[in-house]
């Protein structure tokens, strides 16, 4: 499984590179006057929102729902992860600002080396001991190092990268699925009992551990989408930027959450929120993207 983990970050960023190549400013004027001051502000605002909204709501939701210490740590860890690259595709579908989404993903991913361990220690340290240094080294190894390696390969062997790029999304999805399946297998007994309770009417799907985690993950991502969009609107950003920031904040790198939870915490329950997020988040993000696809932003307001 370890080699697959090292391949996952560059595989996920290859489609983003292709998306960036297909994105162009709506007009030369917009590309010059609009891009620098507002785009820098949007990037800084989006990254700040990424590492404040989601970690805060991870802690709030876990406390409100009364999650166990292991599940609370898992949800907080998920909230402290950087944005996922699936957000770039969803932003494209939602007619949002794709270049902004990609830059935010890259910046939040690089910042994860320091911010993910630090915020996890601050917010989850009350539940279990958190070694921020080891978390930081693992994040560096799993996320940043493969990206740098992938960039070097892209520069040295562009023809190989061009050949691999069409298959990268499928390989990334398969790798993420293997990670999620490994976590589900470790929690098989809980999954089976929850499904049995739902089948026989003993409390329903949301009565057991799995059901509560599903609800907590749903609420976390819902908060990311809603609060991300609302704060971007209050900040005076245009509709396309609001959509990009909302999607970027609401969609996390759940694969990184699974890897860190599995490597640094003894309880298998810590990885469960991130594993369930891989499914719930993509359903929510895709639905939001499709809704926004039929709501075209006002071009006059966008170009002002």
pLDDT at 7: 47
Give the separation between CA 182 and CA 186, rounded to whole angstroms: 6
pLDDT band at 250, cuts 50/70/90? very high
CA distance 3 to 113: 20
Segment 216-237 mean pLDDT: 96
Token representation of residue 43: 């990037």
pLDDT tens sequence across 197-221 = 444 445 444 445 678 889 999 999 9
Nearest Cα to 62, choosing from 77, 46, 44, 81? 77
The two tokens of residue 214 are: 């599903």
Q: Say which CATH architecture domain 2-22+30-298 belongs to.
A: Up-down Bundle (1.20)
pLDDT score for 175: 62
pLDDT at 200: 45
* Per-domain boundaries in the chain: 2-22+30-298
Tell me the per-residue pLDDT of 16-50, one tens digit each, with 9 for 90 and over: 444 444 444 444 444 434 567 778 899 999 999 99
Q: What are the pLDDT digits (tens) for 138-189?
A: 888 777 776 677 777 778 877 877 777 776 655 655 665 565 565 555 555 5
pLDDT at 255 over 70: yes
User: What is the rounded distance in angstroms from the CA atom of residue 95 to the CA atom of residue 57?
Assistant: 27
Give me the percent of the chain exceeding a pLDDT of 90.
Answer: 35
pLDDT at residue 11 is higher than 60: no
The pLDDT of residue 2 is above 50: no
């Amino acid at each position: 499984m370890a080699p697959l983990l090292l391949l996952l970050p560059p595989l996920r960023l290859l489609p983003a590179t292709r998306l960036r190549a297909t994105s162009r400013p709506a007009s030369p004027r917009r590309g010059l006057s609009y891009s620098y001051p507002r785009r820098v502000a949007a990037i800084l605002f989006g990254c700040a929102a990424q590492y404040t909204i989601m970690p805060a709501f991870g802690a709030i939701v876990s406390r409100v729902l009364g999650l166990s210490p292991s599940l609370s740590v898992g949800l907080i860890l998920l909230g402290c992860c950087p944005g996922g690259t699936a957000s770039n595709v969803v932003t494209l579908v939602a007619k949002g600002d794709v270049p902004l989404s990609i830059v935010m993903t890259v910046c939040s991913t690089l910042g994860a080396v320091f911010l993910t361990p630090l915020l996890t220690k601050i917010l989850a340290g009350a539940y279990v001991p958190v070694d921020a240094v080891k978390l930081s080294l693992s994040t560096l190894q799993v996320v940043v190092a493969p990206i740098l390696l992938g960039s070097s390969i892209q520069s040295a062997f562009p023809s190989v990268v061009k050949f691999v790029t069409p298959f990268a999304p499928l390989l990334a999805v398969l790798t993420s699925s293997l990670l999620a399946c490994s976590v589900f297998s470790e929690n098989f007994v809980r999954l089976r009992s929850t499904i049995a309770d739902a089948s026989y009417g003993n409390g329903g799907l949301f009565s057991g551990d799995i059901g509560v985690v599903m609800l907590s993950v749903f609420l976390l991502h819902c908060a990311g989408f809603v609060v991300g969009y609302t704060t971007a609107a209050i900040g005076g950003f245009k509709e396309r930027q609001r959509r990009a920031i909302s999607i970027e904040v609401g969609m996390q790198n759940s694969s990184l959450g699974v890897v860190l939870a599995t490597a640094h915490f003894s309880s298998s329950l810590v990885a469960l929120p991130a594993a369930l997020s891989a499914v719930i988040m993509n359903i929510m993000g895709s639905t939001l993207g499709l809704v926004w696809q039929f709501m075209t932003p006002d071009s006059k307001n966008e170009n002002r």
